[in-house]
Structure 1
Amino acid sequence: MSTELQHSVAVLGLPLANVTADEAVERIEQLILSGGSHQVATANLDFWGNSLGDVDLHRILAGCSLVVADGMPLVWISRLLGKPLKERVSGVDLVPMLAELSARKGYGIYLLGGRPDVAARASETLKQMYPGVNIVGHHAPPVADLERMDHGDTLERIRAAKPDILLVAFGNPKQEKWIRMHSRRLGVPVSIGIGGSMDILIGAVKRAPSWMRRSGLEWLGRTIQEPGRLMPRYARNFGGLAVRLPGALLAGLLQSPRQSVSEVQRTEDRGVVHLHVRGKLGATVTATIDRTVTECVVNGNLLVVHLKKLTFAGPEGLGALLDARQRMLASGLSVTLAGVPLRFRILMSAWCLEPLFDEFRIPAKGFADADRTQEVRFARFSGKDPRIPAESES
């Protein structure tokens, strides 16, 4: 099993794992074995569209331990931005692959959500397809808003079943918010939002032909089946993409990728580690950030990344910063970006990363080697710290 850290790819504000379906299953097994409670999201263009108008959802997705691209438009965008994702990893493909993993290694799976009989039928279908699969329970709570759900009954059922993998089919954004709301109390190693995957699994919704899936047109096949429900959604999402994508591409062109120097210097002051980046946010720099984040998590230090001399940051470099954010927040710490150049601010806004940042002005003398001006402008990753004004993380 591979242990090499691979950075996410920042695609219009989403930290997408650059993995194949097989690698995604391997990563999920690593999360199960690593301890703690982890959230996995299968993001498509609708997730992205919803996150633009819902900062809480955006932060939840950015805080997931793993986000895969369940939608070819996201794969296409990654190619345009210069860091192609390996392939689409759909929730409907992931579910049977996890069932096969369960049949081989005994991991317990719990199915939650769907219409009253869907979870039960999906459970039986998986047992027929993968003899030996360890389905430890299923439940379809009455359809209701998050505020009106009977959370207590559902939580008791899941806790009693003690699954390793919880598959939640409430649809986005409800399933992502429900998982984040209850993940710590549940103590389930891995919880995954799977949308309508169970409906397709039992044949209630027909999947598009294989040639449409291979060519990235599965969304069209689904629209033909459910035009009243899906046509307005896809029109809204593709319309939003048509508005956002040209600006994202232009912002990328405003950078200076020809700058050859790439280096980082480290200082430390009163429990705060400072990394000063010069040139590209490339492999050498991101490797240093990775090591430093690990040290910060172990020692309980905060991290400030100074970007005044940054000349270029691509999708993988930004993905590394998002990964650092996720790892630090998961440990109750924070990452701060300082001295952010104008071109990089424009890029962050155009690539839909701005909602993950707050800006503050604080005295420079409290931070070693900061800009020696009266005030230093910070673009700050969300997280709590008594020394820096904090935002709340959903």
Structure 2
Amino acid sequence: MEAFYSQSWCLCGLPFDVVDTSSAISALKRAIKEERPFFISTPNLNFLIAAQTDKAFRESVINSDLSVADGMPLIWMARLLKIPLPERVAGSNLMEALFAEKNGSPIRVYFFGGEPGAGERACQVINQANAGIRAVGHFCPGFGTIEAMSIDDIIDEINRHEIDFLIVALGARKGQAWIEKNRHRLKAPVISHLGAVINFFAGTVKRAPVWMQRIGLEWLWRILEEPSLWKRYFFDGLRFVKLLLVNVIPYAVWIRFNQKKLNETRPVVINTEEDDHNIKIYLIGACIDKTIAELRPVFKECVAKKKNILIDLQAVPVIDGAFLGLCLLLYKHLNEQGCQLSFQNINQQNKRIFRWNLVHFLIP
């Protein structure tokens, strides 16, 4: 459970790891080398909006082993909230970087999903190049249900290939749900839903110019390439404006008027009580990025005991997105064990911070 030592922040209800593209690639390669299951989520604005109303979709991101910000609007919001995400880490950029590598053994990729014929064409393009990835197969399951795409014959067909990186393209919600349902049955160590990657490699859709990506206009290019996307971008844009006005901007203003509280450096004091089924953790002091280092090994140790955890915040004057990101990691690991995370004695200020960060599902 080294995840408790990673720098993960909460942004609008989802966890985001503080990594750049190079660090994400290094983590991916370590998982391949160690043959360790590694689920990568690449939330963009569409993910963020969908997660507000779809619990299963939200939890698929929370359950990821790596969650990176794939979208400039997310980076802009992070900067407003002083969250130290270094850069946009797009799934397409990860694949382009892997493709461009020339040293070492190629990473074996398999495409699951996409339009009919796109996977085959993507494989041909990749294997015609002397690249850092090699396509070992593809499967187009059509447009059926998740259950129909999860039958033993399909899983067996995928598993008969030696795969390092399984790339899924079924549409964001269906793709994340399919991965959640099947990742424990799949032999490929690294799995991610990267919807447009197949089309980019197949050449059926072109990526936006780099300058458009950098200034956040990739959505406009995507509409020009795929006009059917306009409705999604339009409604996501409306919800984005609401998110800014109701959550992000009020929290950003609060942060700027409360810098003194957020500059505390004294480590949080931790006391615990335990019975047969529950662990109570009493925290004293500000629970913010600069103070929570001592909390990480405590969370790790408590999770290992497989008990429900109750966190008392009565003596905690202020929290921030780093503390909430750590709590989302705790929530993830407890869920995997069938255990619960709850909080008590939260002051009004901290309740507002929970709500602004859209993690009010963690509190009563």
TM-score, normalised via structure 2 length: 0.88
Measured after TM superposition, the shift of residue 3 of structure 1 is 9.8
CA distance in 2, matches of 1:118, 1:309: 56
CA distance in 1, matches of 2:292, 2:330: 9
Measured after TM superposition, the shift of residue 86 of structure 1 is 0.8
CA distance in 1, matches of 2:98, 2:303: 30
Q: Does 1:287 align with 2:275?
A: no
Q: 1:172 to 1:31 in 2, by over 3 A?
A: same
Report if the CA contact (8 A) 2:105-2:132 is conserved.
Answer: no
- What is the root-mean-square deviation in Å for CA atoms of aligned residues? 2.7
CA distance in 2, matches of 1:43, 1:69: 6
CA distance in 1, matches of 2:66, 2:259: 28
Matched residue of 1:185: which SS?
coil
Partner of 1:343: 349
* Identity level (%): 27
Measured after TM superposition, the shift of residue 195 of structure 1 is 0.8
Partner of 1:47: 47
Residue segments in structure 2 that go unaligned for 5+ positions in a row: none
Partner of 1:316: 322
- Cα deviation 1:334-383 (Å, max 9, x = unaligned): 4332222222222222322223x263xxxxxxxxxxxxxxxxxxxxxxxx
Q: Does 1:264 align with 2:261?
A: no
Matched residue of 1:15: which SS?
strand
Partner of 1:77: 77
- Cα deviation 1:12-69 (Å, max 9, x = unaligned): 1111122111111112223345555332111110111111221111111111111111
- Cα deviation 1:181-210 (Å, max 9, x = unaligned): 111122432210001111112221121112
Q: Does 1:166 align with 2:166?
A: yes
Partner of 1:137: 137
Matched residue of 1:88: which SS?
coil
CA distance in 2, matches of 1:216, 1:17: 21
Partner of 1:178: 178
Partner of 2:194: 194
Partner of 1:377: none
Matched residue of 2:219: which SS?
helix
Q: Does 1:235 align with 2:234?
A: yes
Residue segments in structure 1 that go unaligned for 5+ positions in a row: 360-394
* Higher relative strand content: 1
Q: 1:76 to 1:148 in 2, by over 3 A?
A: same
CA distance in 1, matches of 2:91, 2:225: 19
CA distance in 2, matches of 1:145, 1:102: 39
Matched residue of 2:330: which SS?
helix
- Cα deviation 1:270-301 (Å, max 9, x = unaligned): 25443322332124643222101222343434
Partner of 1:354: 360
Partner of 2:61: 61
5 Å-filtered alignment, 1:78-227, equals: 78-99=78-99, 104-131=104-131, 133-149=133-149, 151-227=151-227
Report if the CA contact (8 A) 2:4-2:296 is conserved.
Answer: no
- The residue identity in structure 2 corresponding to 1:190 is V
